[in-house]
Chain A
């Protein structure tokens, strides 16, 4: 492949396989929601095709990269692609953090009478504007009392602090791995990558345990605005950690295959940045959900 031309893969069948898989996944999911018998199996089949497509397509890209098909222009396009992906991720979490701030700073004080002190006392007598909002107007609590949800809050110094320490440590280990890669210290690189992946898996395990505790204490998605923002933010974050662990594992596999050196390791950089981002999102969650 010439260094001047832009590399265009011809005759790739992965896009159509991906389209079929995604369509089956969503049609299956929608029907599963309507309790149609074939909905679930179709969803699983579609999901499996998507996973197969991801391995196949990304595997093709890796082979093309290792085979020397890519020039500087392609390298640049990967960097821009990663940057736009990151932009979408930042916007995604900004929306959920925005919902948290809107509820805390605007909606709840407003319901409590700030700025309009006329409707709330008549509509919901005895309503207290607090954060976390324990008593949600209109919600019927476990004990049947009006707008009494009655959940216990997660202790910030329990599992959340442990998980913060775990993720921050994984941020340190991936920085060591980054340093080792830049210095071509292969064994150290592999060791730090394994440590990072292990810390990520441990985080997910503790997060599942925390969900178990929170759910047992009555904090659910239906527990008013606090419950819904808590689970959406931490749930999507957990999903991102899961994806990050998968990506780190793929990178570890590629390191062992000798795909990277101290000069060329964009895939590592992309995944490392993503891991740092996921770490920062958690730090934001830890501070704004549990502390401030």
Chain B
């Protein structure tokens, strides 16, 4: 499960980097690229949050809030 979470985080980083390149390029093409990359970024982030909640509900992952024995 951790691998899946980290893979989605990596996709989010790439989308953010892609948006940066779009911003750097400028013009209508760059602006378009930036907007689409940011849309992907937020979409994947929301998906990841929902996945975390679901995985926690299913007991696949546990938060860091336990006190070690």
Residues in A lying within 8 Å of B, measured CB to CB = 75-76, 79-80, 82-83, 86, 128, 130-132, 134, 152-157, 161, 164-165, 168, 171-172, 175, 178-179, 182, 263, 266, 269-270, 272-273, 276-277, 279-280, 283-284, 287, 289-292
Residue numbers in B under 8 Å from A76 (CB-CB): 26
Contacting A at CB under 8 A, from B1-50, are 2, 5-6, 9, 12-13, 16, 19-20, 23-26, 28, 31, 34-35, 38-39, 41-42, 45-46, 48-49
Residue numbers in B under 8 Å from A164 (CB-CB): 49
Docked CA distance A271–B47 (Å): 24
Q: Is the CB of A284 within 8 A of B9?
A: yes
Residue numbers in B under 8 Å from A83 (CB-CB): 20, 23-24
Most buried by B among A155, A179, A279, A292: A292
Q: Is the CB of B46 within 8 A of A292?
A: no
Residue numbers in A under 8 Å from B2 (CB-CB): 292
Residue numbers in B under 8 Å from A272 (CB-CB): 38
Q: Secondary structure of the A side of the interface? A: helix
Nearest chain B CB to A86's CB is how many angstroms away? 6
Docked CA distance A161–B49 (Å): 9
Residue numbers in A under 8 Å from B52 (CB-CB): 287, 291
Q: Is the CB of A175 within 8 A of B42?
A: yes
Which residue in A263, A273, A280 is a CB contact (below 8 Å) of B23? A273
Are A131 and B64 also in contact (CB < 8 A) when A269-B34, A280-B13, A292-B5 are? yes
Bits for B39-68, please: 1 = Cβ < 8 Å to A, else 0.
Answer: 101100110110011001000010111111
* Known contacts A79-B23, A276-B41, A289-B64, then 8 further A-B pairs from the complex at CB < 8 Å, ordered by chain A residue: A153-B65, A168-B46, A175-B42, A182-B31, A266-B23, A276-B38, A280-B12, A291-B63
Docked CA distance A76–B65 (Å): 47
Are A273 and B64 also in contact (CB < 8 A) when A182-B31, A283-B48, A287-B5 are? no
Q: Is the CB of A270 within 8 A of B23?
A: yes
Residue numbers in A under 8 Å from B24 (CB-CB): 79-80, 83
Residue numbers in B under 8 Å from A283 (CB-CB): 9, 12, 45, 48-49
Docked CA distance A270–B23 (Å): 8
